[in-house]
Amino acid sequence: MAVVARLVLAGCLCLATMAPAWGNTIKLGTIAPVNSPWLEIIRQMGDEWQRMANGAVEVKIYPGGVVGDESDILRKVRVGQLQAASISIAGLAEAVPDLRALYMPLLLESDEELDYVVARMRPSLEAALERRGFKVLNWGDAGWMHFFAQKPVIRPDDLRPQKLFWWDARGPYIDALKSAGFQPVPLPATEMHMALESGLINAFTAPPIAALSFQWFALAPHMTDMKWVPLIGATVITLDKWNSLPEALRPRLAETAAAAGDRITAAVRPLHDESIAVMRQHGLTVHQVPPDALEEWREVVRAAYPKLIGPMVPAAAVAQVERLRDEYRAQHEAK
């Protein structure tokens, strides 16, 4: 638990400031907080790149949302203010909507299912991102999203009276939530803490590691023990910037970046339970969801899917995730 405890300590991110000899500075934006495993591993990747290039490549990281929310980061990448980003697939889905199929609520249930599906969809997703001008450097796990609230949430009716922070302000998501009787409040993630303090919101979804890292749980000390959606992320760089890097170095840089993604997943997954344990020590209450309540949530989700599939999420992508999920389940049930 010592690793997790360090996530909540104030700290300073130290970045190399040597001016690169060839002028290849890569500005990378992320909302990952300082002292988090995501940021530390991306920083290590940047340091390795600089060493490989003998200082000719520098990665400058802007963490903790200092350059804005994920939508802001992606926009700044597109206009050239940033050249890279380490963001969730929720942010990247603005470029490739197929990614949204990976975080449809209650569609996947385990890390094993997620890994099976992602491994088989990665080639097509990376090709789609490349067509939009992005090279994927790595994929990494951010954990499973859970509900955190100022009052206990076990059944849908428990959440409906509470003002729910929502990551996406676009119509279909908000309409689907409202039609199910919820009260979504679309806000940038960078405003979460202030919104909880002011009462603008009193519930949100986030991975436990993020709730701990940003200290959001202190203002919403009830967690629902239900894996709502998996949240994975990717580090991407614009093709223009990637192609400007020394050609002979690119294979080694790509290999180092891919290894960093593997380390992120390996580091983050064990911290899921550790984060919950640390938060429990500081006042978090975890609420179990019995089978009949879980079925109520599934009914809510089933009713919402038609409002999302088509307008926001390509039907073919959802069908592919369902097919691969069922394929995985059939293989493992047979054993």
pLDDT of 252 over the 90 cut: yes
pTM of the model: 0.86
Residue 6's region, left for phi above 0, alpha for psi from -120 to 50, else beta, is alpha
CA atoms of 51 and 252, how far apart (whole Å): 12
Q: Quote the pLDDT of residue 168.
A: 67
pLDDT of 2 over the 80 cut: no
- Percent of the chain at pLDDT > 70 equals 92
Taking only the tens place, the pLDDT of each residue in 199-209 is 999 999 999 99
Q: Out of 9-18, 131-140, 279-288, pick the least confident.
A: 9-18
* In contact, 63 and 13? CB cutoff 8 Å: yes
Taking only the tens place, the pLDDT of each residue in 206-219 is 999 989 988 999 99
Other C-beta atoms within 10 Å of 151: how many? 13
Orientation angle between helical segments 315-334 and 111-131, nearest 10 degrees:
150
Q: For 260-268, what is the mean pLDDT?
A: 92
Q: Quote the pLDDT of residue 12.
A: 33
**If we measure between CA atoms, which residue out of 206, 185, 33, 181 comes closest to residue 103?**
206
Q: For 177-201, what is the mean pLDDT?
A: 93
**If we measure between CA atoms, which residue out of 192, 238, 232, 228 comes closest to residue 95?**
238
Q: Out of 45-49, 171-175, 184-188, 246-250, pick the least confident.
A: 171-175
pLDDT of 112 over the 70 cut: yes
Convert the chain into a string of H (helix), E (strand) and C (coil): CHHHHHHHCCCCCCCCCCCCCCCEEEEEECCCCCCCHHHHHHHHHHHHHHHHCCCCEEEEEECCCCCCCHHHHHHHHHCCCCCEEEEEHHHHCCCCHHHHHHHCCCCCCCHHHHHHHHHHHHHHHHHHHHHCCEEEEEEEEEEEEEEEECCCCCCHHHHCCCEEEECCCCHHHHHHHHHCCCEEEECCHHHHHHHHHHCCCCEEEECHHHHHHCCHHHHCCEEEECCCEEEEEEEEEEHHHHHHCCHHHHHHHHHHHHHHHHHHHHHHHHHHHHHHHHHHHCCCEEEECCHHHHHHHHHHHHHHHHHHECCCECHHHHHHHHHHHHHHHHHHHHC
Q: For 85-92, what is the mean pLDDT?
A: 90
Q: Quote the pLDDT of residue 309.
A: 94
Checking DSSP bridges between strand 183-186 and strand 134-149, what pairing results, if any? unpaired
Q: Residues near 3 by Cβ (< 8 Å), separated by ≥ 6?
A: 37, 271, 274
Q: Quote the pLDDT of residue 20.
A: 37
Q: For 228-239, what is the mean pLDDT?
A: 94
Q: For 1-14, what is the mean pLDDT?
A: 36
pLDDT of 241 over the 50 cut: yes
Domain ranges of the chain: 2-334
**Average per-residue pLDDT for the chain:** 89
Q: Quote the pLDDT of residue 230.
A: 94
Tokens of 186: 């679309």
Q: Quote the pLDDT of residue 142.
A: 84
CATH number for the region 2-334 comes to: 3.40.190.170
Q: Quote the pLDDT of residue 169.
A: 66
Reported as a pLDDT band with limits 50, 70 and 90, residue 32 is confident
Q: For 174-186, what is the mean pLDDT?
A: 93
Reported as a pLDDT band with limits 50, 70 and 90, residue 90 is confident
pLDDT of 267 over the 70 cut: yes
Q: Quote the pLDDT of residue 14.
A: 33
Reported as a pLDDT band with limits 50, 70 and 90, residue 249 is very high
Q: For 29-52, what is the mean pLDDT?
A: 90
